[in-house]
Amino acid sequence: MKKLTLREKSILAGLYLSKFDAEGLKFLGFDNFTEAFNVIGLALGVKPASVKNYRDEFDPLFPNERQGWHKREIRPYCKNIYNSFNALDITNFSNLLKEIIYENHELDVLMEQIAKKEDKESSFAKRLITGQAAEHYFKENYIKIDVFKDYQIEDTTKHGCGFDFKLYTPNSEFLGVEVKGLNNSNGNIALTSKEYSVAQMLGGRYFLFIVKNFKEIPFHDYFQNPLNSKLKFNRIEMTIKQISWNTVV
């Protein structure tokens, strides 16, 4: 498959949501269309309204209750995407969406499959909300927040250092920002042992940034020095049965 432009990726998402409708939402783990527009749009780095508009573009071509943009012909570049991908079934089309939206496609798909095998909650929607979509939201909005506005940003999500972003200036110590996402306007947030330890060490230079309410209109809340804030963290210990496989070489 040729490398798709960002607009083509958005069009593909709109085609999927129009063609498969409620079944497509459920297949990917979304509760409603608004959530799908918000999560996919943010994960791609486009406005959620763009994904909605492309769904509406294709609606006249499918048997659903929405009329869509039925008063005009479908635009040629959208028709090209339709002609190229409309024949895909829901499984193959969903896999295509994961390929074009997941930033770390192979690893994200692998982690999703492992979680399902271990009976843990996992879906395309959940992985994007708790990771990619929330992180893109932060990158797009952090500069508008007074405490962060003078800082430059470095993505540290792949460094395993206990926070997702390093904010820095030439004249001050860096800040560490851990980003979390919630489907609703409230819910449970967990810090890993490493994140908790780093938050202890950095103190006031550690921020917990939470993107909430992907199901409706996303908004954010943040906590400086979260371990010494109104948040109350409970220590949870779990005994895990570890299985290993040995061989002789």
User: What is the tens place of the pLDDT at every residue in 99-143?
Assistant: 888 887 777 777 777 766 665 656 778 888 888 999 999 999 999
Q: Report the pLDDT value the prediction gives residue 120, as an integer from 0 to 100.
A: 61
DSSP strand pairing (206-212 vs 172-181): parallel
Structure-token pair, residue 207: 């921020």
Structure-token pair, residue 119: 């009976």
Cβ atoms of 136 and 39 closer than 8 Å: no
Segments of the chain with pLDDT less than 50: none
User: Between vectors from CA 41 to CA 35 and to CA 45, what angle results, nearest 5°?
Assistant: 150
Give residues with Cβ within 8 angstroms of 27, minimum separation 6. Answer: 20, 90, 94
- Of 3.40.1350.10, 3.40.50.150, 2.40.37.10, 3.30.830.10, the CATH number of 137-228 is 3.40.1350.10
Q: Report the pLDDT value the prediction gives residue 117, as an integer from 0 to 100.
A: 66
Q: Is 65 helix (H, G, I), strand (E, B) or coil?
A: coil
Q: Where are the domains of the chain?
A: 6-101, 137-228
Total count of residues recorded for the chain: 249
* Model confidence pTM above 0.95: no
Q: Report the pLDDT value the prediction gives residue 128, as an integer from 0 to 100.
A: 84
